[in-house]
Amino acid sequence: MKYTTTAFSARHQHHARRFAALFAAVVIAVSALLAVACKSAPTMRTRSGSPHQETEKLREALYAKDFNAARAALAANANPNESYPQNKPWLFIALEHGLDWAELFYENGADLETRNSSGFTALLALTDNRKHNTMRWLLKHGADANHVGNGGFTALLLAYIHDDALAVKILKDAGAREDIFTHSVSGNAAALRDLLATGADPNQLNSGGRSALSYAAGFGRADCVRVLLEFRAHINHRNPHHGGTALLNATKSDLPNKIEILSTLIASGADVNIPDHHGITPLISAAFRQDNDAVKLLVESGAKVNAKTQRGARALSYTTDAETEALLLARGAKCGEKPRFTCARGGKRAEKSKVVASDGLYLRDQPSIEGKKLVLMPGEATVTILSRAPARHHEWQDGLSGVWYRVRYKKLEGYAFSAFIE
């Protein structure tokens, strides 16, 4: 069959009209799909400056606490997942500034699971600092309640360590799970027994190398210590990171039932002479803390009185109590190695050290920042550490953790903060 030119043109026009109609239908359908997708998708950020420039603007806004500048930088493609020096994520700073900042960062892609140099997420860091409202905000927005940071810490474990009942409730309501470590710190011996009876390993270690027995001993949970020993926890386990045992950990506590814990461990076969990786034995640890009852118990249980640390210190290097000093001397105790450790007035500690604070360090009349200033000891000044101030916990001064030492500078004796002494 032959087509005339007119017939062919009419047929071509008919096909063209059908194609145009089909194309228009496809365009309408795709436009509708795109409209739905755009409606449900998050708002795209404007991209004005380079990411590096805008991220620098965001850093400046964080320092200045300039919310509007931060919002503008984030809208212009700044990266909300950068970190301050020393690996402090910017999200952590935003959370410190307030929940309006937190919302701003979250809406612009901040990762709630970003970690600091300690492997802590924001939730762990805020639990450690008891920031309950911000904890709630993070959990509401999907933060992992069971993240494990460096050292084996979970948010729930930190809440128990701080004896923070409200934080415990907030976390458990959000699905935080209990385990043998949390029970050993909280002292829930019945729940611990139930876990062990249903197959939990009493010798499980967390990522920090800590055992449940080490936690229970360090936090004075005598019932938990007994339950763990009943289920054959390894009593002389050494932490692979620092070499400490449950017995050594117990000597480092300032709890009123320390002697009960030590006695229970020793009666169950704890070796009183196992040192950590620095050579510190339970006896040296007890002497360093001026814990005379613990020193006596350990000596009577066979502790070696002349064991030395890697720095050459012995128990007598730290002892200032006359009765304890007499006990050690009667067992043949010797002084520490010179020149770092000498024995003045029997076992009196005398360790030569230097002030490392460049602008100097005040010698005070009391082991407290409120103590009267006796004299400013210049940087690099030589001081003699006489003893650790008794019954003092670690505290923070100018961002550094330490304890108070009794020291001698020239002919003056007083107290100085350990973080600023070599």
pLDDT in tens, 323-337: 788 889 889 988 777
Least confident of 40-44, 101-105, 170-174: 40-44
Note whether 132 and 264 are same-domain residues: yes
Q: Give the closest residue to 304 by CA, choosing from 321, 320, 280, 323.
A: 280
Q: Is 384 helix (H, G, I), strand (E, B) or coil?
A: strand
pLDDT of residue 22: 56
CA distance 219 to 221: 6
In this structure, what DSSP letter does residue 232 have? T
Note whether 249 and 364 are same-domain residues: no
Q: Give the closest residue to 275 by CA, choosing from 251, 297, 300, 301.
A: 251
CB atoms within 10 A of CB 237: 18
Asked whether the CA dihedral 154, 158, 160, 164 is positive or negative, the reply is: negative
SS3 assignment for 83-100: EECCCEEHHHHHHHHCHH
Asked whether the CA dihedral 8, 14, 17, 21 is positive or negative, the reply is: negative
pLDDT of residue 224: 98
CA distance 338 to 134: 52
Mean pLDDT of 365-393: 82
Looking at per-residue pLDDT, the higher value among 18 and 412 belongs to: 412
Note whether 86 and 228 are same-domain residues: yes
Structural domain containing residue 198? 52-285
β-sheet bridge partners, residue 409? 412
| Amino acid, res. 159 | A
In a domain, 296, yes or no: no
In a domain, 220, yes or no: yes
CA distance 382 to 408: 9
Domain boundary (285, 302, 334) is at 285
In a domain, 207, yes or no: yes
Domain boundary (252, 267, 285) is at 285
Note whether 378 and 254 are same-domain residues: no
Cα torsion at 117, 73, 54, 47 (round to 10°)? 120
Residue 87 clears pLDDT 80, i.e. is over it: no
In a domain, 320, yes or no: no
Note whether 56 and 193 are same-domain residues: yes
Q: Tell me, what CATH number does 364's domain have?
A: 2.30.30
Domain boundary (285, 318, 339) is at 285
In a domain, 327, yes or no: no
339 preceded by a cis bond (ω within 30 of 0): yes
Looking at per-residue pLDDT, the higher value among 407 and 68 belongs to: 68
Q: Are 328 and 300 in contact (CB under 8 A)?
A: no
Note whether 261 and 364 are same-domain residues: no
Note whether 271 and 122 are same-domain residues: yes
Note whether 85 and 184 are same-domain residues: yes
Residue 373 clears pLDDT 80, i.e. is over it: yes
Q: Are 57 and 86 in contact (CB under 8 A)?
A: no
In a domain, 11, yes or no: no
Q: How far apart are the first and last CA of the chain?
A: 107
Q: Are 374 and 360 in contact (CB under 8 A)?
A: no
Token pair 């994520």 is at which residue?
89
Token pair 């938990």 is at which residue?
224
CA distance 334 to 347: 8
Q: Which residues are CB-neighbours of 302 under 8 A, at least 6 positions away? A: 272, 273
pLDDT of residue 40: 41
Q: Give the closest residue to 200 by CA, choosing from 238, 226, 219, 227.
A: 227
pLDDT of residue 8: 38
Note whether 129 and 261 are same-domain residues: yes
Note whether 127 and 216 are same-domain residues: yes
Note whether 169 and 70 are same-domain residues: yes
Residue count of the chain, please give it.
422
pLDDT of residue 351: 64
Q: Give the closest residue to 326 by CA, choosing from 309, 305, 341.
A: 305
**373-377 vs 382-388, strand pairing mode:** unpaired
Report residue 217 as tokens.
């001993």
Q: Is 244 helix (H, G, I), strand (E, B) or coil?
A: coil
Q: H or E stretch including 128?
A: helix 122-128
Q: H or E stretch including 184?
A: helix 180-186
pLDDT of residue 5: 39
In this structure, what DSSP letter does residue 349 have? E
Q: Are 333 and 316 in contact (CB under 8 A)?
A: yes
Q: What are the tens digits of pLDDT across the range 93-142?
A: 999 999 999 999 999 999 999 999 888 999 999 999 999 999 999 999 99
In a domain, 197, yes or no: yes
In a domain, 68, yes or no: yes
Q: Is 400 helix (H, G, I), strand (E, B) or coil?
A: strand
Q: Tell me, what CATH number does 112's domain have?
A: 1.25.40.20
pLDDT band at 406 (very low <50, low <70, confident <90, very high): confident
CA distance 159 to 132: 11
Q: Say how many domains are in the chain.
A: 2
Q: Are 57 and 73 in contact (CB under 8 A)?
A: yes
- pTM of this prediction? 0.72
Note whether 93 and 217 are same-domain residues: yes
